């Protein structure tokens, strides 16, 4: 048998999806395209145009940050948290990434017929505690019930309103060449915690979600150097890789990170190795990436490390001029690789 390379032939291109597929919610390219081509043109508004996790609205001289987020997590309770904490912390963090202090929240519940009231009660109690912990008031809500089989127990939507302090100018399009890139701790914990319980995967060590409100940490960082923080992002769906790519694109800069400096919990790394996944693409719920002026980086880092949510804070890279829009990593063995924007969900590999 000889292999005739001359006749090597290829499959047809994949058509674009005419229907929503699961990857449209993955926080990668498919999500971005959905927003860019479907939602943004329909709802066209100047407040929607700047990239960012929250809209900035000026009102009577004050600047308000407004953000909304929906939470659809299975299972409803997982190591380190529940959908309740996520629903509060996720929205609080979107506000915090604009430097805003959370003031008000709304909560919408889409509940599936059959959900035990005790479970809903426990979830709501955790939401209330999470809101109180950051000094935010839940001031409006809504409840809908859907037929059994039409939801995963409960879906929660929260909207948050926060106040941006005077002088704070933070946005995903404000990263500048020379900026230092900081993270407040290990990446990938939330995504792997969820995956381990959802898929029944047993790892040697229990992996715990990192869900946490970041507004207090952000306030501490701002106190250290209010003008030096250019960009903040909480790398949720799509992980740190998606967040860095969004910032590189929005700021029209290149980002170079050093994989050796990246904090990764050994249990998360081991689980990722097992499944052929990359922790850079795994979701976080209590982490932020900060782009700060180089002269203030050490001071901000010190302040982060003094905070309970920043003990493992690390400087992981810096912003460069070229190639603009590209995120690259120095690998552990001294090579270089590109960290591309994910398409949709990261999938476990076969081998």
Partner 1 sequence: MKYLAEFRNGEIAQRLAAEIRRMTTRRWAIMEVCGGQTHAIIRNGIDQLLPPEIELIHGPGCPVCVTPLEVIDKALAIAARPDVIFCSFGDMLRVPGSRHDLFRVKSEGGDVRVVYSPLDAVAIARDNPHKQVVFFGIGFETTAPANAMAVVVAKRQGLKNFSMLVSHVLVPPAIEAIMNSPSNRVQAFLAAGHVCSVMGYWQYPPLAEKYRAPIVVTGFEPLDILEGIRRAVRQLEAGAAYVENAYPRAVTFEGNQPAQRMLAEVFEPTDRAWRGIGVIPNSGWRLRDAYRAFDAEARFDVADIRAQEPPICRSGDVLQGKIKPIECPAFGNPCTPRTPLGATMVSSEGACAAYYNYGRFARAG
Q: Which residues bind partner 1 (CB under 8 A)?
A: 1-15, 17, 19-23, 29, 199, 201, 260, 266-267, 269-270, 273, 275-276, 278, 322-323, 326, 328, 331-338, 340, 343-344, 347-351
Burial class (CB in 10 A: 0-12, 13-18, 19+), 297: buried
Residue 149 beta carbon to partner 1: minimum distance, rounded to whole angstroms? 13
Q: What angle in degrees, to the nearest 10, is found between the helix axes of 266-275 and 189-198?
A: 60
Residue 340 beta carbon to partner 1: minimum distance, rounded to whole angstroms? 5
- Give yes or no for a contact between 168 and 65, defined as CB atoms under 8 angstroms apart: no
Q: Which is nearer to partner 1, 53 or 246 (CB)?
A: 246
CA 73 – CA 147 distance, rounded (Å): 18
Counting every residue written for the chain, the total comes to 351
Q: Which is nearer to partner 1, 3 or 117 (CB)?
A: 3
Q: How are beta strands 154-164 and 254-258 bridged, if at all? A: unpaired
CA terminus-to-terminus distance, the chain: 27
Residue 329 beta carbon to partner 1: minimum distance, rounded to whole angstroms? 9
Residue 178 beta carbon to partner 1: minimum distance, rounded to whole angstroms? 18
Residue 241 beta carbon to partner 1: minimum distance, rounded to whole angstroms? 10
Alpha-carbon Rg for the chain, nearest whole angstrom, is 21
Residue 108 beta carbon to partner 1: minimum distance, rounded to whole angstroms? 25
CA 184 – CA 200 distance, rounded (Å): 29
Q: Which is nearer to partner 1, 8 or 59 (CB)?
A: 8
Q: Which is nearer to partner 1, 24 or 101 (CB)?
A: 24
Other Cβ atoms within 10 Å of 138 Cβ, number: 16
Q: Which is nearer to partner 1, 15 or 61 (CB)?
A: 15
Q: Which is nearer to partner 1, 13 or 41 (CB)?
A: 13
CA 275 – CA 196 distance, rounded (Å): 11
């Amino acid at each position: 048998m000889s292999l005739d390379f001359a006749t090597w032939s290829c499959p047809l291109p994949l058509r674009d999806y005419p229907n929503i597929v699961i990857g449209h919610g993955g926080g990668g390219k498919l999500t971005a395209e959905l927003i860019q081509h479907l939602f943004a043109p329909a709802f066209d508004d100047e407040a929607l145009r700047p990239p960012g996790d929250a809209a900035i609205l000026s009102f009577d001289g004050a600047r308000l940050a407004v953000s909304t987020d929906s939470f659809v997590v299975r299972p409803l309770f997982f190591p380190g948290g529940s959908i309740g904490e996520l629903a509060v912390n996720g929205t609080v963090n979107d506000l915090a990434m604009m430097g805003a202090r959370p003031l008000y929240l709304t909560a919408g519940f889409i509940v599936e017929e059959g959900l035990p009231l005790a479970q809903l009660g426990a979830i709501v109690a955790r939401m209330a505690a999470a809101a109180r912990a950051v000094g935010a008031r839940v001031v409006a809500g809504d409840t809908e019930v859907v037929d059994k089989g039409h939801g995963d127990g409960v879906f929660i939507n929260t909207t948050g309103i926060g106040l941006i302090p005077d002088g704070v100018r933070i946005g995903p399009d404000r990263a500048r060449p020379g900026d230092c890139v900081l993270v407040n701790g290990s990446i990938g914990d939330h995504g792997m915690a969820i995956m381990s319980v959802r898929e029944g995967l047993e790892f040697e060590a229990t992996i715990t979600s990192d869900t946490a409100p970041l507004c207090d940490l952000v306030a501490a960082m701002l106190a250290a150097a209010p003008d030096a923080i250019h960009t903040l992002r909480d790398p949720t769906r799509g992980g740190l890789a998606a967040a860095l790519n969004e910032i590189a694109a929005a700021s029209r800069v290149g980002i170079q990170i050093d994989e050796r400096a990246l904090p990764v919990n050994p249990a998360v790394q081991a689980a990722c190795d097992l499944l052929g996944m990359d922790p850079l693409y795994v979701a976080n719920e209590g982490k932020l990436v900060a782009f700060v002026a180089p002269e203030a980086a050490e001071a901000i880092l010190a302040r982060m490390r003094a905070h309970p949510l920043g003990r493992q804070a690390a400087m992981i890279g810096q912003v460069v001029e070229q190639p603009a829009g590209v995120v690259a990593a120095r690998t552990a063995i001294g090579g270089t690789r590109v960290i591309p924007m994910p398409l949709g969900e990261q999938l476990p590999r076969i081998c």
